[in-house]
Amino acid sequence: MKKSNLIYLNIAGLAIIGLVLYFALRHTHTEGDGHEHGTEKTTGKEAATANKEVELNEAQFKAANVELGTYALKNLSEVINANGYTKLPPQNQADVSVHMPGVVKTITVIEGQYVRKGQVLATIESPEFTKLQEAYLTSKSNLEFLSQEFNRQKTLSEEEVNSKKVFQKTKAEYQIEKARFNSLQKQLGVLNIQSGNTAVTSVPVLAPISGYTTEINVKIGSNVEVGKPILSIVDNSKLHVDLLVYEKDLHKVKQGQNVQLVLTNQNNTAIKGTIFSVGKAFENETKSVAVHADINNEKNALIPGMYVNALIDIGTNAVQSLPVEAIVKADGREFMFVLEEGHEEAAHDSEKGHSHEDGHQHDDNEGKTFHFQRVEIKTGTSQLGYIQVTPLQKIDPKAKIVLKGAYYLQSHLIKNEGGGGHSH
């Protein structure tokens, strides 16, 4: 019995010793693995956060169409987005028509031509013009006779030589003819016919406003009718924008606020405007209200009906921003490229070229070289082609930032890392 117990004690002791050695060796292995893995992780992080550089020769720089610049201050954080169209007020549009039917004799303008107020656009011919002038001249002659007769009868009536009835009749005839004469004179004026003694068969059609001609609806020999326009004129210098603002933002919009307008179908051309009126009723049950803004259209480059995106500035908090195309993404992060000052190198005069320390041969005909540093950034609000940017490291306030061509630099960097060239 004692011998059996001794055997069991020996077996238990060996088991305990084995367990102690097992856990001791496992702990040592775990510490070794942890140290090794931690080193790899730190090294990878350092490699990922290290700034990278890209070098371009002069030919590559020009081919990439790299555009350099600095931050732009934009009110991206306190703006209201809106869409709308350019619109022309009715007082800056005109349909040119005639007041009497006739036939087109001449046309002196073409579509798209600029005309000034009072300029002759066409001439209309009609025998009715001659009849109207005949009636005018007849009335003028009658009025002179009746005027003299009125004065004579008035004198006789005052001296009680003639009866009051004769004077009253002469007075009525005189006043009727005077009204007829004035009416005929105004009709000639509307038709642009000079009230002279020479009868004419054609009259000029004059431009009622200054602007550009559109939609010429007649040709030589066409019959024109009253009320049917022969052409139209638009004055685009007074163009404004109608923006649709939704109910939730309406209380933030006020008269006098600045607006940045972007013509989406015109290469995102940006123009400035100012709100001059806010609508007081919803537009077509859309729960949006029309907001009217004056715009700067000095060059008359805009026409009615252009689609625009707008940023209505409701605050004064300007932030530094860059064009969206200046930002590149890699490894889940965002970067911009900055030109390193003092790193534009002139090529040597050697015909055979020279070698850099990296062992690569460079042709001297390449000209200057440009070095760009990739800088990690944090982005914010993005509006109409611009995005708020905050660099994660300090850079020179006067540093030249790549505004255009960043994707080329990024692809060049990836190519070099893959063995297609060299990078710093």
Q: Could you tell me where the DSSP H helices lie in 243-297? A: 247-250
CA dist 344 and 401 (Å) reads: 15
Quote the pLDDT of residue 22. Answer: 61
Q: Render pLDDT for 330-343 as a digit per residue (tens, 0 to 9).
A: 888 999 999 987 65
Distance CA 399, CA 414 (A): 24
Asked if residue 277 lies in contact with residue 239, where contact means CB atoms within 8 angstroms, the answer is no
Check residue 211 and give its pLDDT: 92
What average pLDDT does the chain have? 80
The token pair that represents 90 in the structure block:
């009715």
CATH 2.40.30.170 fits 79-88+239-313, yes or no: yes
Measured at the CA of 223, the angle between CA 222 and CA 224, to 5 degrees, comes to: 110
Q: Report the C-alpha gap between 42 and 316 in whole angstroms.
A: 43
Q: Domain ranges for the chain, please list them.
A: 1-47, 51-72+319-420, 79-88+239-313, 93-234
CATH for the stretch 51-72+319-420: 2.40.420.20
Range in 45-54, 127-136, 347-356 with the lowest mean pLDDT: 347-356
pLDDT beyond 80 at 257: yes
Q: What is the pLDDT of residue 276?
A: 92
> Where residue 81 falls among pLDDT bands split at 50, 70, 90?
confident
Residue 45 has pLDDT above 90, yes or no: no
Asked if pLDDT for residue 385 goes beyond 60, the answer is yes
What are 11-28's pLDDT values in tens digits? 666 667 666 566 555 544
Domains 51-72+319-420 and 93-234 alike in fold? no
Q: What is the mean pLDDT of residues 88-96?
A: 92
Most confident of 238-242, 315-319, 345-349: 238-242
| Most confident of the ranges 44-53, 166-175, 347-356 | 166-175
Q: What is the pLDDT of residues 196-217, one digit of tens each?
A: 667 788 899 999 999 999 989 9
Looking at per-residue pLDDT, the higher value among 179 and 1 belongs to 179
Look up the pTM and report it.
0.53
Q: Are 276 and 255 in contact (CB under 8 A)?
A: yes
- Mean pLDDT over 22-37 rounds to 48
Classify domain 93-234 at the CATH topology level: OB fold (Dihydrolipoamide Acetyltransferase, E2P) (2.40.50)
Average pLDDT over residues 341-354: 47
Mean pLDDT over 255-282 rounds to 85
The DSSP line for 104-119 is EEEE---TT-EE-TT-
Strands 202-206 and 120-125: antiparallel
Q: Kindly state the percentage of the chain with pLDDT values over 90.
A: 29
**pLDDT bucket at 403, cuts 50 / 70 / 90:** very high
Average pLDDT (80-108) is 91
Q: Please state which of the ranges 26-40, 64-78, 258-272, 292-306 shows the lowest mean pLDDT.
A: 26-40
Structure-block tokens of residue 139: 């009335």
Centre a 10 Å sphere on the Cβ of residue 193 and count the other Cβ atoms it contains: 19
Q: Is the Cα torsion angle 282, 284, 290, 294 positive or negative in sign?
A: negative
* pLDDT above 90: residue 96: yes
Q: How far apart are CA 404 and CA 409, in angstroms?
A: 10
Task: Report the C-alpha gap between 234 and 186 in whole angstroms.
Answer: 27
**108 or 298: which carries more pLDDT confidence?**
108
Angle made by CA atoms 344, 340, 415, in degrees to the nearest 5? 85
**Statement: residue 246 has pLDDT above 50:** yes
Give CA–CA dist 110/177, Å, rounded: 43
Give the model's pLDDT for residue 367: 66
Q: Are 119 and 207 in contact (CB under 8 A)?
A: yes
What percentage of the chain has pLDDT greater than the value 70? 77
Residue with the bigger pLDDT between 32 and 184: it is 184
Q: How far apart are CA 278 and CA 248, in angstroms?
A: 14
Query: Per the structure block, which two tokens stand in for 261?
Result: 């307008």
User: Does position 372 have pLDDT exceeding 50, yes or no?
Assistant: yes
